[in-house]
Structure 1
């Protein structure tokens, strides 16, 4: 590009940068910018980790084993794959051993193990425990090598062959069902659903709003996707009861339906901090010193399997950046839209964000600045557009002798002056077309027909 753009916005690219900004001086045009706001030294333990796992351990659960065995299928689906493999192997080996012992006992009681006996055996060629075990495997897996087979000498042996075949089918169905259910679990779909590292609070449409960003890394859609949020904090009731984790709903548009999202490109979820919000009375300093956790939940159906999945994350108070917005990630190209995920977690500081609570802002106790600064999203979009034009060989509209450190306010005034000039020229042109042009055509027509001749005026 012909000019180098600089900006005065603070960019947050990681969680560490967000933690540093929590103790940096804030210069927003309403303070001296010298005071520092310190966060709490000790933060509360997370109830929900950043990866969505709940930080909870159950202790002193009575009859835990019996309860888990009563729902053995769900237990097999929930356990790790290594334990699933162990159960898979043990189920078959134990069944083979059990029926091998049964056939060995039948042969022992019938006297088939005695080599001197010439009577017909219950199971031919079964004269040892190893042979009985091999016959059990051949029966359950339907291998059938042909050397060992059951005869009609012992009805109990025939019954056990039928019974083992049924048990083998049940084990196969159970194991295959558990493995397939475990493979089809939508839990792994959460690996391609991401939340931003930090939440932000900034002005939007004249109101303070809490915002966080969600994204889908796959091209397959999340059907009926919707979001929820809850604020978790401890409190003491008026009766003196201590509630360690009081759950308060955070409205993200359930009543109006805007909680349902079309998650193709990253979307910023907005919670308007109004009189019904639990954050209504909290200022920047209050949030920096607060001890709460905001749990955010994204739910939807996986397009491939139609199974419901739930992706979770959380934000502690020190992970909420006051006076920040997210960098834009969606850019319009010639025939498509481009999503730049390198900007997904990045934020920039908005200098004129008020530091007071939403209540004070609503009661006009805080005067908003009327300064209209050039928005950072517009700068990024303009820069991206100029980069695309330069790559495609389109001449740049900006002059090459523009100072590289031009202030963003001057850029805004420059664009505004150009817009004013273009508008004025358009108005003058319209007046010329509507007023002067008809008279000009009339005079021209008058002269062509020689109406100025005195003889024609008699």
Structure 2
């Protein structure tokens, strides 16, 4: 029994929308990541990105400092007993440390002071130009990756709240699975679309068994097919009819079924017109049969509406026992008997 419970609890997507699938034994993964270096850098964690940012500057300073050092060494600037007519490639650069400081100053400023380049070595001039071009491109790349990560709507998606539990009860005469969604910011989200995927094992007609099969689960807001304006907490409904992948679900077999319901909300931010996506998932233990959400929206005496999130995850039992039944055939027979 314990093993079965653990198996049911295994989930592909966590409650906060993170992917729990680990990728292993992929041949050439490093090469693939380097081939798409931009996405790799943008997806980096902040600690790695800060390390990359700092190491980019330090490494370019050091590498070009070493190049300048060898140029000066080849020009004989470090030899003892130089005559007064000898002009070094870089003035006041006598050690590797001095070359490093010259490289740092060349990359970070256009006004030279104690150390500066002379006209004696064309190779040093070419190296200086190459350094400024290469490091300029590297700075653009790293800075762009920083801005791209900051501008990603991932953090905005974290301000979209899903109810911790899903409920099943009757709504407008139909048995529905309900989830509640709310926008935690005052800035509204437009063109919201809530979609669902039922992840479960499946056996095809040919006898092929798939461990994770995806079936579409359609959600709507009441009877409207339009995209809702997410400024208030909204309850989305999925009708459990014969066309639903959850057909046949009832109060008795709910917790014995093995599936995971992945919910995805796609929305557009009104302020930036960027698209954000937020996800969560529900397993059978997080779906309550015969419950409904408590009201979360209240009106005040001043004519304003208040969304009290203390009640956002609160549910209550349906009092009418007839609403808890999902036996469709029985209901049809009862309705036919009443019509007669």
Fold shared, TM-score > 0.5 on shorter chain: yes
| Equivalent in the alignment of 1:357 | 326
**TM-score, structure 1 length as denominator?**
0.68
The 8 Å contact of residues 194 and 220 in structure 2, kept in 1 or not, is answered as no
Residue of 108, 121, 124 corresponding to 2:73? 108
The 8 Å contact of residues 198 and 212 in structure 1, kept in 2 or not, is answered as yes
**TM-score, structure 2 length as denominator?**
0.91
Structure 1 residue 272 corresponds to structure 2 residue 253: no
Higher gyration radius (CA): 1
| Equivalent in the alignment of 1:336 | 304
Structure 2, unaligned stretches of length 5 or more? none
| Equivalent in the alignment of 2:152 | 185
Quick one: structure 1 residues 179 and 106, their matched pair in 2 at CA, closer, same or farther if it must change by over 3 Å? Answer: same
Residues 138-194 of structure 1: CA distance to partner in whole angstroms, max 9, x if unpaired?
Answer: 111116441111111111111011111111211211111111111112111122111
Residues 218-250 of structure 1: CA distance to partner in whole angstroms, max 9, x if unpaired?
Answer: 001113221101111101112111111111111
Residues 422-442 of structure 1: CA distance to partner in whole angstroms, max 9, x if unpaired?
Answer: xxxxxxxxxxxxxxxxxxxxx
Q: CA deviation at 1:343?
A: 0.2
Structure 1 residue 170 corresponds to structure 2 residue 128: no
Residues 104-136 of structure 1: CA distance to partner in whole angstroms, max 9, x if unpaired?
Answer: 000000000114213111111111111111110
Residues 286-324 of structure 1: CA distance to partner in whole angstroms, max 9, x if unpaired?
Answer: 212211111111111233333221100011112111111
Structure 1 residue 68 corresponds to structure 2 residue 37: no
The runs of at least 4 aligned residues of structure 1 exceeding 6 Å deviation read 365-368
| Equivalent in the alignment of 1:222 | 189
RMSD: 2.2
Structure 1, unaligned stretches of length 5 or more? 1-39, 369-458
Quick one: structure 1 residues 361 and 142, their matched pair in 2 at CA, closer, same or farther if it must change by over 3 Å? Answer: farther
In 1, Cα distance between equivalents of 2:41 and 2:331: 54
In 2, Cα distance between equivalents of 1:251 and 1:357: 19
Residues 395-433 of structure 1: CA distance to partner in whole angstroms, max 9, x if unpaired?
Answer: xxxxxxxxxxxxxxxxxxxxxxxxxxxxxxxxxxxxxxx
In 2, Cα distance between equivalents of 1:134 and 1:233: 62
In 2, Cα distance between equivalents of 1:122 and 1:144: 17
In 2, Cα distance between equivalents of 1:72 and 1:362: 60
Structure 1 residue 300 corresponds to structure 2 residue 267: yes
In 1, Cα distance between equivalents of 2:11 and 2:226: 25
* Pairs within 5 Å for 1:21-36: none
The 8 Å contact of residues 49 and 313 in structure 1, kept in 2 or not, is answered as yes
SS in structure 2 opposite 1:351? Answer: coil
| Equivalent in the alignment of 1:196 | 163
